[in-house]
Amino acid sequence: MLDDCWAEMARDGKGNLVPKKSTFPSGIKALADYVHSKGLKLGIYSDAGYFTCSKTMPGSLGHEEQDAKSFASWGIDYLKYDNCNNDGTKPTVRYPVMTRALMKTGHPIFFSLCEWGDMHPATWGAKVGNSWRTTNDISDKWDSMVSRADMNEVYAELARPGGWNDPDMLEVGNGGMTKDEYTVHFSIWAISKAPLLLGCDVRNMTKGTMDIIANKEVIAVNQDPLGVQAKKVRMEGDLEIWAGPLTGYRVAVLLVNRGPWRNSISAQWDDIGIPLNSIVKARDLWEHKTLKTHFVGNLTATMDSHACKMYILKPIS
């Protein structure tokens, strides 16, 4: 993802955005080709205003079709569209203009509405883009992370395949939280079907960071085709139970201890959508093991402060 400041301060004589020569001497098309050769996709940034948030490059307001054509011609796969320095009109007016411009190019580009939760984009974003920010910017702190999770969860029922709630990028690996806290962070984003966008320096990731972000079982919950965002089904003080259905009559469950002391949490079948008399097998997604015990009525686990347990539960009778 290229964020703000990738372009020169002025457009060229034809009004086109110009990649910053000192940073991208071969241009963005060459960069996109290189990224695609690695099996990856390239995202870029613009703004639904006259200038971007840094005020160091032009925004796309009034240049939507021209900029969309540039992005398509370069082979861009993802557009983050910010909300700074605009003309005062509502985002519900400005953002659809870029939607139409992107569609007109005929080139598929994931459209990320980054208007910070202004005007509750979850209520209108599905007709405009593929994801929408439900929160202000996240920071690499526990309180910031869990507050973004709380704000995002409010709109759980409005997410669906093709249109996702976005509580901002992942902070995993940036150093401001413990490994347990980053595990909670990644688990909540995954079960919430949030876009999993790494915000750390991928060139210098530790094994601990890799253990979190490369957990295929947790990623599979995020990518489950049913596409139902999990919700907090119970909150008992600092103890939370998150749950959501998966394909194959399975349920993803996340137990989170937000409190200062080690504690146990119980997930009751009637809270998480499993028939009351079911016998259930449980897969622990962070321990990578299927528990030998079968469970009836509930599952209870104990965890440290600011830690979690994540399971896939499947009734076997």
Catalytic (active-site) positions = 82, 137
> C-alpha angle with apex 104: 34 to 53, nearest 5 degrees?
65
> C-alpha angle with apex 215: 181 to 209, nearest 5 degrees?
50
Sheet of 43-47: strand order equals: 43-47, 78-82, 110-113, 131-133, 164-166
CA–CA distance, 256 with 280 (Å, rounded to integer): 21
> C-alpha angle with apex 171: 242 to 267, nearest 5 degrees?
15
- Closest C-alpha to 178, from 223, 133, 152, 209: 209
Residue 164: strand pairing partners: 131
CA distances from 182 to 55, 140, 155, 189 (A): 32, 10, 23, 11
CA–CA distance, 256 with 150 (Å, rounded to integer): 13
For 93-238, strand residue ranges (E) read: 110-113, 131-133, 164-166, 231-236
